[in-house]
């Protein structure tokens, strides 16, 4: 009976927001942002630590599909905060080496893009100005090579 009560209290404390860890220190995020990540290393981290929940091809995925634009719309600081502190059903991923966070961030940006690539409408910015470039130089080419000479 006492063991059951103790287990219940521990589980309640672990799941209760009143007992939640404080947000990641700002210097952790700043330190990670100052590092250069390696996308190939980050891909391995993603495969081993994230893909089980963020697999868009799973019959019942636990987490959202990261390719739906959510990752691309977040700046690096917000994305790191979600990874470190969790959000909604996503658990906190604390205690990683700062380089691991930088590598995962590099992979997520290489795979899903970043906020600088999303315009105000939420569409990916391809750099197109909206002008149709037809290659027209302003002269009319009739195909007639005869210059009259």
Asked if the model's pLDDT at residue 98 lies above 90, the reply is yes
The listed range with the strongest mean pLDDT (9-23, 54-68, 81-95) is 81-95
Give yes or no for a contact between 37 and 104, defined as CB atoms under 8 angstroms apart. Answer: yes
97, pLDDT greater than 70: yes
Average pLDDT taken over every residue of the chain: 74
What is the reported pLDDT for 44? 96
Task: Output the CATH code of domain 21-116.
Answer: 1.10.760.10
Average pLDDT over residues 44-50: 94
Q: How much is the average pLDDT of 29-54?
A: 94
Mean pLDDT, residues 49-76 taken together: 88
Q: What is the mean pLDDT of residues 66-82?
A: 91
Burial class (CB in 10 A: 0-12, 13-18, 19+), 80: buried
Closest CA to 28 of 100, 90, 113: 100
């Amino acid at each position: 009976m006492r063991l059951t009560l103790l287990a219940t209290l521990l589980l309640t404390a672990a799941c209760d927001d009143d007992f939640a860890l404080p947000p990641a220190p700002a210097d952790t995020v700043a330190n990670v942002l100052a590092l250069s990540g390696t996308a190939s290393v980050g891909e391995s981290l993603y495969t081993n630590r994230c893909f089980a929940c963020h697999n868009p091809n799973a019959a019942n995925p636990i987490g959202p599909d990261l390719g739906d634009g959510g990752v691309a719309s977040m700046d690096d600081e917000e994305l790191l905060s979600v990874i470190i502190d969790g959000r909604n059903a996503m658990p906190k991923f604390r205690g990683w080496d700062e380089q691991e966070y930088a590598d995962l961030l590099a992979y997520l940006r290489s795979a899903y893009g970043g906020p600088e690539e999303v315009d105000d409408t939420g569409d990916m910015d391809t750099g197109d100005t909206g002008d149709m470039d037809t290659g027209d130089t302003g002269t009319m080419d009739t195909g007639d090579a005869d210059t009259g000479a």
